[in-house]
Amino acid sequence: MQHPPESVSIALPDGRSYDILIGTCLFDAAATWQGLPRAAAAVIVTNETIAPLYLERLKRQLAPHYERVDVVLLPDGEEHKNQDSLNAIVDHLLGQACDRKTVLFALGGGVIGDMTGFAAAIYMRGVPFVQVPTTLLAQVDSSVGGKTAINHPLGKNMVGAFYQPVRVVADLDTLDTLPRRELSAGLAEIIKYGPIADPAFLEWLEANIDALLARDKAALAYAVKRSCEIKADVVGQDEREQGLRAILNFGHTFGHAIETGLGYGEWLHGEAVGCGMVMASDLSVRLGLMPAEFLPRMKRLIERAGLPVVGPKLGIARYLELMQVDKKAEGGAIRFVVIEGLGKAGMRPAPDELVAAVIEAHTA
Ligand SMILES: NC(=O)c1ccc[n+]([C@@H]2O[C@H](COP(=O)([O-])OP(=O)(O)OC[C@H]3O[C@@H](n4cnc5c(N)ncnc54)[C@H](O)[C@@H]3O)[C@@H](O)[C@H]2O)c1
Ligand SMILES: O=C(O)C(=O)C[C@@H](O)[C@H](O)[C@H](O)COP(=O)(O)O
Ligand SMILES: [Zn+2]
């Protein structure tokens, strides 16, 4: 079934804004690519898995608008979200004498999106870029809001910038080719929006998680749109994470510790966030902010989404050490995003003993 494009607009300070286009058949529609900044060159950044699937189609659409459409092909994987890949993009831009009007297109998941956005932010101090997310996770989260980064061996997304795209094109048809494990990873970031912002959406997810796993297009269209609306609203109020935006980090303090602790790539980001949300839900209960039923409710939904709910046994000391590197930590004190009532999140420190008990309860 075809889903006519819908558009969610993100409104930022100083009158800046951009559209997130969501629908089926977006890729091959000429209108999708109209009205973008024009330049001598467009540069598509993608990887070796996505290129055979979607590169030619994107090139065909861009060809009428740019004198040249270049491609930077990167290796696939979270372990390549690093300085080497960033250098490869910048080397190409300089090597091909790309000027400051050059438009970058991030064709892929969150890894490609985060790195392309960061390259766009730093090349000649900023060139425009378009997010073309092809994973569920990227369509509901990473392509929206302008967090761009690469990983560092000592911490996740530790080198980056806030830099917004000029448009997001989320074609739901690209989800047809997504491996099942990646679909589940995307569901983690969708589930996140329920407890932090929208209890009715949490209930909707409980009723529709099987339809999402079956890739029902109507269910996907609703979930992507609602997720983008919630994220756009939060980012519109706090673009540079001075406060409120941190709620989008629910489950991420534990989750990033898992990703960094295991070495990037072993667990998917969404898997680590899923398990991290179980831990953060338990912490919310132990802090007396949520009733005991909240933990099994979240755990059940995360499990039904095909995500792990038991974390790796890195050791409590190691978890604590890794979490101190979190960007939300202040003066070495870790601050956790907790649920303070369904649809309401906040950020708090927690006693080490409580955090240790949470880790003990959800690792094996
Ligand atoms: N900037 C943000 O706000 C933000 C938000 C959430 C996550 N992230 C980051 O996003 C990254 C995770 O993104 P992800 O889950 O998209 O992972 P990913 O980018 O690694 O993509 C997942 C896998 O799917 C493949 N793939 C992509 N599209 C496909 C398609 N349509 N069909 C078949 N295969 C396809 C990719 O090649 C890759 O192997 C992490 O680095 C995370 O830190 C950033
Ligand atoms: O957009 C945000 O803000 C988020 O926190 C979204 C997260 O899903 C994403 O993983 C983000 O990159 C994590 O934030 P970070 O600042 O810890 O890198
Ligand atoms: Zn995330």
User: Would the CB of 260 count as within 6 Å of ligand 2?
Assistant: no
Q: Give pLDDT tens digits for 315-357.
A: 999 999 999 998 999 888 999 999 999 999 999 999 999 999 9
- pLDDT tens profile 155-203: 999 999 999 999 999 999 999 999 999 999 999 999 999 999 999 999 9
Ligand 2 contact via 272 beta carbon (within 6 Å): no
What is the three-state SS of the chain?
A: CCCCCEEEEEECHHHCEEEEEEECCCCCCHHHHCCCCCCCEEEEEEECCCHHHHHHHHHHHHCCCCCEEEEEEECCCHHHCCHHHHHHHHHHHHHCCCCCCCEEEEEECHHHHHHHHHHHHHHHHCCCEEEEECCHHHHHHHCCCCEEEEEECCEEEEEEEECCCCEEEEEHHHHHHCCHHHHHHHHHHHHHHHHHHCHHHHHHHHHHHHHHHCCCHHHHHHHHHHHHHHHHHHHHHCCCCCCHHHHHHCCHHHHHHHHHHHCCCCCCHHHHHHHHHHHHHHHHHHCCCCCCCHHHHHHHHHHHCCCCCCECCCCHHHHHHHHHCCCCCECCECCEEEEEECCEEEEECCCHHHHHHHHHHCEC
Assess contact for 127 and 153: CB atoms under 8 A.
Answer: no
Task: Kindly state the percentage of the chain with pLDDT values over 90.
Answer: 97
Question: Across all residues in the chain, what is the average pLDDT?
Answer: 97
Average pLDDT over residues 137-142: 98
The ligand 1 site (C-beta within 6 Å) comprises 47, 49-50, 53, 76, 78, 81, 108-112, 114, 134-135, 137-138, 141-142, 145, 147, 157, 174, 177-178, 182, 185, 189, 268-270
Q: Does residue 132 have a pLDDT over 80?
A: yes
| CATH 3.40.50.1970 intervals, the chain | 6-177
List the residue whose alpha carbon is closest to atom 6 of ligand 2.
248
307 in Cβ contact with 274 (< 8 Å): yes
pLDDT digits (tens, 9 = 90+) for 37-72: 999 999 999 999 999 999 999 999 999 999 999 999
Amino acid at position 164, single letter: Q
Atom 16 in ligand 2: residue holding the nearest Cα? 327
Topology of the domain comprising 180-361: Dehydroquinate synthase-like, alpha domain (1.20.1090)
Write out pLDDT tens, residues 143-156.
999 999 999 999 99
- At 1, is the pLDDT very low, low, confident or very high (cuts 50, 70, 90)? low
For residue range 85-131, list pLDDT tens digits in order: 999 999 999 999 999 999 999 999 999 999 999 999 999 999 999 99
114 labelled binding-site residue: yes
Domain with CATH 1.20.1090.10 in the chain: 180-361
The residue whose CA has the least distance to atom 4 of ligand 2 is 248
**pLDDT above 90 for 259:** yes
Please name the CATH architecture into which domain 6-177 falls. Answer: 3-Layer(aba) Sandwich (3.40)
* Res 116: pLDDT: 99
Other Cβ atoms closer than 10 A to 57: 14
CB 215 within 8 A of CB 3: no
The pLDDT assigned to 5 comes to 86
With tokens 């804004």, the residue in question is 17
- What pLDDT is recorded for position 114? 98
In this predicted structure, the answer to whether residue 307 has a pLDDT above a threshold of 90 is: yes
114 CB within 6 A, ligand 2 = no
pLDDT of residue 217 exceeding 90, the answer is yes
Confidence of residue 229 (pLDDT cuts 50, 70, 90): very high
Query: What is the distance in angstroms between the CA of the first residue and the CA of the last residue of the chain?
Result: 43
pTM of the model: 0.98
